Chains A and B, each alone.
Chain A
């Protein structure tokens, strides 16, 4: 009896547990966040969860700190992503051949993205340390200026982006390598027969054919880079001052340092819309590129 029941209804019995999870842990939180954003709930100010309409949103868009955090989020994301994609694809093109130790090199590239980000943040914190850190020691020996790295208001974001670049360029390399090994060989043979230079083959054959793969890799990076939290929070906490406060850090502080749930939820809705919007733009671009 039980057996027949499952056989007949497998298409909804199987996904049921996951569906319940999605409803309780995802749909409910999203709707609840939307609701809280319309209330003045704050534990620190002691205000209850009473409906106040769009006041949080008005306050949010007038908040200079919020606006700057949006700009910083884009600054960090664009900087990290641009370097990761360009360097990642370039390195993949240079590495794409058989050589001794290939397996070892590919294994090493796996390590930065698998290692615990908070631990990695601590190591970079130590290396960036202005006086005892190895980075500035090397720069001093080279008689080069020594930046303050994450301690400087202007260098904090690039210094954090460098950590992100170290963590995630390998992902672009590995995806591009997988893409390269999937390209059909005949096209390259034909190009060689036609006497095309290696440079021309690269720009007119390899890269265009690799483009869909690169676009998806970039999309995955974009979504994650916009949301970067661990290394920024662990290394600077948004500082010095607010110099490295991205949207994710800003919302986190509003929610769990000031406990202004209403206001923080409004910021979250804005953050969510931003990430979703960027993903949609990228997906649309991808479709256009592939046409």
Chain B
């Protein structure tokens, strides 16, 4: 588990940066060009599929299979119109949103008190049990849960999807929050207790407000993991509650693949998470790398 020093290391760069850039400065000429090439290659490689996805989504059925591919062309919105008009994507979008929001909210309700208790009372056993969900293959839970939900008539309901997506989101919230809560000085809480505040007041008025960044990180990542989830959804979200990843996948079950529509659908599903990730970049990097950097 990550500790206080680790989150610190991630928060602020160490003073070494200044020392190092001085030594680098000596050969700024050659190294500068080499560095620029590396940056361009890295950015190009990681951006290419996105650029290709967006460009193709605005091409007509003829333009899209044209070789050499055109970079400049008269864009059409037809693919997007098709996706929403004939494929009922608005409904799938709504389903993904409800399930994502539901599992994130429930993940916070279950995860925050548990994380606090793990941090304060060193409940390592509980931490291990929750984090097992990160190691165990998701499909191990899926067969018995599918049988259970089928017996209860819960397949293809929001409830079954929210509960299964919690398996991914809740452990992540705990994983991000435990080091956060550990970092809060105990003296702060003890002072409030001495002043007569109850445990609930301490948590609601002191602990949660200063843990804002951690909660944001955990919530965003839990939402994104739910939004992106495919395996649980393809088994449990068969019809009424079909989510976007399942809908996009169903696109290719037709004999003739409509590449333009497929790329438009891919844009519709990735754009919200990418915007969310960029807006909260600082937190997300911290959340994803939590626990990996030793202090």
A54 near B: Cβ within 8 Å?
no
Mark out the residues of chain A between 1 and 55 whose CB falls within 8 Å of any chain B CB in the assembled complex: 3, 6-7, 10-15, 17-19, 21-22, 25-30, 32-33, 36
| Contact present for A126 and B56 (CB under 8 Å) | yes
Closest residue on chain B to residue A141 by CB atoms: B68
Mark out the residues of chain A between 154 and 204 whose CB falls within 8 Å of any chain B CB in the assembled complex: 166, 170-171, 174-175, 178-179, 181-185, 188-189, 192
A58 near B: Cβ within 8 Å?
no
B140 near A: Cβ within 8 Å?
yes
A117 to B295, CA, bound (A): 32
Chain A residues closer than 8 Å to B42, beta-carbon distance: 91, 95, 105, 109
Mark out the residues of chain B between 210 and 234 whose CB falls within 8 Å of any chain A CB in the assembled complex: 224, 227-228, 230-231, 234
B38 near A: Cβ within 8 Å?
yes
Given A18-B114, A124-B49, A220 and B292 contact (CB-CB distance below 8 Å): yes
A276 to B140, CA, bound (A): 12
A251 near B: Cβ within 8 Å?
yes
Chain A residues closer than 8 Å to B52, beta-carbon distance: 123, 126-127, 134
Chain B residues closer than 8 Å to A181, beta-carbon distance: 9, 13-14, 16-17
Cβ distance B65 to chain A, nearest Cβ, rounded Å: 4
Chain A residues closer than 8 Å to B235, beta-carbon distance: 256
Given A134-B69, A217-B292, A111 and B274 contact (CB-CB distance below 8 Å): yes
Closest residue on chain B to residue A279 by CB atoms: B135
Contact of A175 among B143, B147, B266, B293 (CB under 8 A): B293
| Contact present for B117 and A94 (CB under 8 Å) | no
Closest residue on chain B to residue A126 by CB atoms: B259
| Contact present for A101 and B39 (CB under 8 Å) | yes
| Contact present for B274 and A213 (CB under 8 Å) | no
Closest residue on chain B to residue A19 by CB atoms: B126
A234 near B: Cβ within 8 Å?
yes
| Contact present for B130 and A18 (CB under 8 Å) | yes
Contact of A115 among B10, B109, B170, B274 (CB under 8 A): B274
Q: Scan A105-129; emit 1 where CB is below 8 A from any B CB, else 0.
A: 1111111111111111011111101
Interface of A, secondary structure class, is helix
Chain B residues closer than 8 Å to A166, beta-carbon distance: 45-46, 49
B176 near A: Cβ within 8 Å?
no
Mark out the residues of chain B between 226 and 264 whose CB falls within 8 Å of any chain A CB in the assembled complex: 227-228, 230-231, 234-235, 244-245, 248-249, 251-252, 259, 262-263
Chain B residues closer than 8 Å to A120, beta-carbon distance: 49, 266, 270
Contact of A114 among B16, B126, B274 (CB under 8 A): B274
Given A26-B129, A30-B136, A248-B139, A21 and B166 contact (CB-CB distance below 8 Å): yes
| Contact present for B123 and A15 (CB under 8 Å) | yes
Q: Which of B133, B199, B281 has the most CB of A within 10 A?
A: B199
B19 near A: Cβ within 8 Å?
yes
Q: Which of A17, A32, A122 has the most CB of B within 10 A?
A: A122
B200 near A: Cβ within 8 Å?
yes
Contact of B277 among A26, A96, A111, A213 (CB under 8 A): A111
Chain A residues closer than 8 Å to B295, beta-carbon distance: 182
A271 near B: Cβ within 8 Å?
yes
Given A97-B21, A234-B230, A255-B143, A118 and B245 contact (CB-CB distance below 8 Å): yes
| Contact present for B281 and A106 (CB under 8 Å) | yes
Chain A residues closer than 8 Å to B132, beta-carbon distance: 26
Chain A residues closer than 8 Å to B291, beta-carbon distance: 216
Q: Scan B139-158; emit 1 where CB is below 8 A from any A CB, else 0.
A: 11111111110000000000
A122 to B250, CA, bound (A): 11
Closest residue on chain A to residue B289 by CB atoms: A175
A214 to B32, CA, bound (A): 26
A141 to B199, CA, bound (A): 69
| Contact present for A116 and B46 (CB under 8 Å) | no
| Contact present for A174 and B285 (CB under 8 Å) | yes
Which segment of A61-69, A145-153, A223-231 sits at the interface? A223-231
B209 near A: Cβ within 8 Å?
no
B105 near A: Cβ within 8 Å?
no
Contact of B269 among A17, A21, A116, A234 (CB under 8 A): A116
A137 to B66, CA, bound (A): 11
A77 near B: Cβ within 8 Å?
no
Q: Scan B1-25; emit 1 where CB is below 8 A from any A CB, else 0.
A: 0000000011001111111110110
| Contact present for B69 and A114 (CB under 8 Å) | no
B47 near A: Cβ within 8 Å?
yes
| Contact present for B163 and A25 (CB under 8 Å) | yes
| Contact present for A272 and B144 (CB under 8 Å) | no
B265 near A: Cβ within 8 Å?
yes
A273 to B17, CA, bound (A): 43
Q: List 22 A-B contacts (CB under 8 A).
A: A10-B117, A15-B123, A29-B145, A32-B147, A95-B35, A95-B42, A97-B35, A109-B46, A114-B284, A116-B245, A116-B269, A122-B263, A132-B259, A134-B52, A171-B288, A178-B9, A181-B9, A217-B292, A223-B135, A234-B230, A271-B137, A275-B137
Other 17 A-B pairs with CB < 8 A, given A22-B130, A95-B39, A114-B277: A17-B109, A26-B132, A29-B144, A98-B17, A105-B42, A110-B281, A110-B285, A115-B50, A117-B230, A118-B269, A119-B265, A132-B65, A175-B289, A182-B10, A233-B234, A276-B135, A279-B135
